[in-house]
Amino acid sequence: MAGLIADPFRAARLVLHLRQEGVTDDGVLRAMETIDRAAFIDDPALTDLAFENALVPIPCGQIIPRPVTTGQLIQALQLEKGNKSRVLLVGAGSGYTSALLAQIASDVFAVERFNALTGEIRRRILDLELSNLAVRCGDGLLGWPERGPYDRILLAGAVEEIPEALRSQLAKGGLLVAPVVTPDGQVLMRLHENGERERLGFRHALPLLREGPAQAL
C-alpha cells in the first residue's frame, strides 16, 4: 500500500525521538511509525526532511508541522484505539495528520480551506485505502455540522479564541484541542464539552487558522 513506511530503521528512530520529546501514547506512536510522512511531501527535494524534526513547506503557503508537534497535538486528544470515536480535524493541510488520526479513530472528518490541497488529500486517501477518512473544502472554523457531533475536535492551527461553532459540535463528554494565542505565546488548550478548560504545556508556534475557503487556490 502506498504511503506506508518501508524502512523500519527510520521508523524506529522517529519513534525514539518522539518518546524523548514526550510523545508516549502507544496509539499515536504506532500510527506515526506506520504512515510515511514523506508520502505527503510534494517536492522530491524535500522528502529527506520527512524523518527529521523539521517543518516542511507545502503548496498554498502551508506547512507540515514538525513530527513532535503533530504527535503532541494528537496525543492531547486522548484517543483510544478500539473506541468508536468520531474526530473532526480543522486545517487538513497535506493530509498527514488526517491519515494518522484515521489509524486511531473510527471515523475522521477533515476540513481544508484550500481546494488544491483538498484534491491532493483525496488522492492520498485512495492511495492509503483509508475508508474511514472524509475531507471537504470549506471554512474549518465553522466545522462540519452535517457530520457531527464529534467525540474529538482538533485544530491543526492556532486561534485567538475557540469558535463557538466548533464547541457546539462536541458530543456529550467530548474534547476539543487547539493551540490558542495568548500574551505569553501559543498555549495548547483542551476544552471539555462541559466547559472545563485545561492548559497544556506547548512550545510550538503554528500558523493562524483563517476564516472562509481560499478564493484563488
pLDDT in tens, 30-48: 999 889 998 999 898 898 8
Q: Find all residues with CB under 8 Å of 175, minimum gap 6, and list them.
A: 77, 78, 151, 152, 153, 190, 191, 192, 193
Q: Mean pLDDT: which of 127-131, 154-158, 179-183, 210-214 is highest?
A: 154-158
The answer as to whether 3 is a domain residue is no
The answer as to whether 214 is a domain residue is no
- CA gap 202, 215 in Å, rounded: 32
pLDDT of residue 1: 46
The answer as to whether 211 is a domain residue is no
Task: Give the three-class secondary structure for 208.
Answer: strand
- CA gap 207, 211 in Å, rounded: 13
**Could you say which DSSP state residue 206 is in?**
P
The answer as to whether 208 is a domain residue is no
What's the structural domain count of the chain?
1
Taking residues 111-139, report their average pLDDT.
Answer: 95
CA distances from 105 to 2, 111, 151, 152, 164 (A): 20, 16, 10, 9, 24
Taking residues 137-145, report their average pLDDT.
Answer: 97
The answer as to whether 76 is a domain residue is yes
The answer to whether 70 and 99 have CB atoms below 8 angstroms apart is: no
The answer as to whether 19 is a domain residue is yes
The answer as to whether 210 is a domain residue is no
Kindly report, residue by residue over 79-94, the tens digit of the pLDDT: 987 778 999 999 999 9
The answer as to whether 92 is a domain residue is yes
Taking residues 181-197, report their average pLDDT.
Answer: 93
- CA gap 28, 154 in Å, rounded: 14
- CA gap 103, 27 in Å, rounded: 8
Tell me, what CATH number does 89's domain have? 3.40.50.150
Which structural domain range is residue 164 located in? 8-200
- CA gap 156, 98 in Å, rounded: 10
